[in-house]
Amino acid sequence: MTYFKKAEWVLERLGEDGIVIVDTRYALNDSEAGRRVYAESHIPGAYYLDLSHDLSGPKRPDGQGGRHPLPEPKELAAVLGRIGIGKNTTVVAYDDQGGAMASRLRWLLKWIGHDGQVFLLEGGFAGWQAAGHPVSTETPAPAEGVSFEPEVRNELLVTQAEVKERIGRKGTVLIDSREAPRYRGEVEPLDPAAGHIPGAINRFWNEGKRADGTWKSPEEQAERFAGLSRDDEIIVYCGSGVTATPNVFALEEAGFRNVKLYAGSWSDWSSRPENPVATSEE
């Protein structure tokens, strides 16, 4: 089953009952940019969810939990209900960040117990516009009569302490989803220390797409993770638990079934100076 839909598929279903479209555009260097561009133009009927306010919880002063901590489940469930997402609603998510923000929403839905289908819009909003499809400036009214009772699936997660326990353990593989220079510790624009968790291998999340921006097939994703055993426990992280999520789904598409997210990721790990840091190649 594919988790990506082309713009034409979405266009044919605009306004259809049981489908909710969510705009998740967001700029890490300007937390209000996504909301501004949504107000200027979005897919008709789409609701907006913000990475900082809707798809993350409040940051702790000591940095524990990372730059984008997971939201409190009941608060997230209330947000979902307000935009019409129930346990079995079909969701179409899009952004203009290559699918990273939309994948964060998709992962949160899985974590909180959503059982419906969740699709990412192939090509994002830019592709929608390039195809000449209609846009709107109208914000849809809050949904009525929709509630979401969370059933949290914490087996999809690992904590910082659990990552420490697993370093060097046979049968566990750590995957760092950031760009190679950050993985190697050559640059670190956001977090307290440069480098990666010892033993982690590097698989940049954006390499899950082809040169034209479309997502790779399950077979192509499997090639990215060649050499890993499908019996392994795979722990995926990035800078703050956002861009790791496309890799989580790429691994699942490739047939890996024991895939977990370290949600705090490098921003959580590097907040503790005593945590070990590596800068060598995998």
Which of the four pLDDT bands, split at 50, 70 and 90, describes residue 187? very high
Domains of the chain: 4-130 (3.40.250.10), 154-269 (3.40.250.10)
* Known catalytic membership, residue 238: yes
Tens digit of each residue's pLDDT (9 = 90 or more) over 34-80 = 999 999 999 999 999 999 999 999 998 888 889 999 999 999 999 99
Q: Is the pLDDT of residue 202 over 60?
A: yes
Tens digit of each residue's pLDDT (9 = 90 or more) over 3-28 = 899 999 999 999 999 999 999 999 98
* pTM given for the model: 0.96
Instruction: Choose between 181 and 31: higher pLDDT.
Output: 181
Catalytic residue, candidates 49, 100, 101, 238: 238
Q: Is the pLDDT of residue 261 over 60?
A: yes
Tell me the one-letter amino acid at 202: N
Which residue's entry shows tokens 């024991």? 258
What b/e readout covers 165-202, taking b as 16+ CB neighbours within 10 angstroms? ebeeeeebbbbbbbbeebbbeeebeebebbbbbeebeb
Q: Is the pLDDT of residue 282 over 90?
A: no
Instruction: Choose between 110 and 281: higher pLDDT.
Output: 110
Least confident of 59-73, 169-183, 236-250: 59-73
